[in-house]
Chains A and B, each alone.
Chain A
Amino acid sequence: DIQMTQSPSTLSASVGDRVTITCRASQSVFNWLAWFQQRPGKAPKLLIYKASTLETGVPSRFSGSGSGAEYTLTISSLQPDDSATYYCQQSSTYPWTFGQGTRVEIK
């Protein structure tokens, strides 16, 4: 199985900060990489798919990049509404797998 490792596990940043979350796969996932946001008590929400394509309706401050086995989610200017846990997920090889999550807190 492809293991997905996110870093950091938790981060605390101020409103307006640029925030970066990294997701490393145990092997190449060929850009079949998605990012999700989950707020407490809610279902995950798709932010980005195919490594860098922004889902319709998602604010443009979210962006994704990367290739091969290493990918990044960037929030260009952190907003209070962005307090949540973020997960990466690969759909290159079955079984599809998720990262362990990165909790983003607002200072």
Chain B
Amino acid sequence: EVQVVESGGGLVQPGGSLRLSCLVSGLTFSDYEMNWVRQSPVKELEWVSNISSSDSNIHYVDSVKGRFIISRDNAKQSLFLQMNTLRVEDTAVYYCVSGRNCPNGVCNSAASFQYWGLGTLVVVSS
């Protein structure tokens, strides 16, 4: 059974920083692209960032470029999101989500976003 567990959320003041972590078990983590997706209080879903299985390719939504950094540690089956210069509009539940299965960099399926964690709440407020 695949398990995805996020941690690191909390209350932070505008301009502050947080580091989210995600521990994945039940799959070969190093074969999967990984994503962060957030859901605002009004329930809009927004893809935030993703990272390839070997962390050679990284993408961000424009609103977080230059402030957020995605990274991964395949040996620890973990994904991270360093969030700096946080804004009120970053308030959301942040989900860690699996991407495509790409062993040795070759994606063998179009399926993505199959495995989601329960999310971790980030509140940016003074």
Contacts and interface: CB of A to CB of B under 8 A. Distances in A.
Interface in B69-126: 95, 110-114, 116-119
Nearest to B109: A49
A contact residues, range: 20 to 34
Interface string A80-100: 000001010101001111101
B27 interface: no
Given A36-B113, A50-B110, A96-B47, A43 B95 contact: yes
Contacts of B59: 94-95
Interface of A: 1, 32, 34, 36, 43-46, 49-50, 53, 55, 85, 87, 89, 91, 94-98, 100-101
Interface of B: 43-47, 50, 59-62, 95, 110-114, 116-119
